[in-house]
Chain A
Amino acid sequence: GAGVSQSPSNKVTEKGKDVELRCDPISGHTALYWYRQSLGQGLEFLIYFQGNSAPDKSGLPSDRFSAERTGGSVSTLTIQRTQQEDSAVYLCASSLDRGPYGYTFGSGTRLTVV
């Protein structure tokens, strides 16, 4: 696609429920990143996929968070047993390759846990 597409744009969920956030990167981009932006905070790195390599999961805050990338394209970030502190905007980005050449970000998914 022309840009990075994220869905849903907004998600309200009850505490304790599981949620899935989807990211569709730019076609041909081999690197895909997830970041979290909490209210009034900067962006916190969560996870990074590069081609067929094992993902860098070093930023995932707990084992309730997981992500996968199927077929080297679409990625899904899953949060299990959501907590109120998970409320944030989850941003996905993609880039041509593993080099830090600057990403293209999606518009994000605003997650609210009530």
Chain B
Amino acid sequence: AQSVTQPDIHITVSEGASLELRCNYSYGATPYLFWYVQSPGQGLQLLLKYFSGDTLVQGIKGFEAEFKRSQSSFNLRKPSVHWSDAAEYFCAVAPGDQGGKLIFGQGTELSVKP
């Protein structure tokens, strides 16, 4: 069965430091891949997505993610974190044969130290 693993439940970084959030998926073919962010009390906002082509994708708010087929990974990165980035981040996979249904990871909560 398809699955998404976000190994880090909670990460704390200092403001201005770089960030990498890990995501691994299990799926037989290349899936569609997504990162969403959820601020406290808010719905989820799409940060970026990968369908095909260039394996480094740029998103909103200065985020980027790299698809590595050999590692079944789609890690999210940001070179310099801002206090407003504190939120929960979800990686998701859309198996191509199930319409638009998404399979989400458990999420990584990001805290930012001043």
Contacts and interface: CB of A to CB of B under 8 A. Distances in A.
Interface of A: 4, 31, 33, 35, 41-45, 48, 50, 56, 91, 93, 95, 97-108
Contacts of B71: none
Interface of B: 4, 32, 34, 36, 41-46, 49, 90, 92, 94, 96, 98-107
Given A42-B107, A43-B90, A100-B94, A105 B102 contact: no
B102 A99 contact: no
A103 B104 CA distance: 13
Given A42-B105, A42-B106, A91-B44, A98 B100 contact: yes
A87 B4 CA distance: 24
Given A33-B100, A98-B99, A42 B49 contact: no
Given A102-B34, A103-B44, 17 more contacts: A31-B99, A33-B101, A33-B102, A43-B44, A43-B90, A43-B102, A44-B104, A45-B101, A45-B102, A48-B99, A50-B100, A98-B99, A98-B100, A99-B100, A102-B49, A105-B43, A107-B43
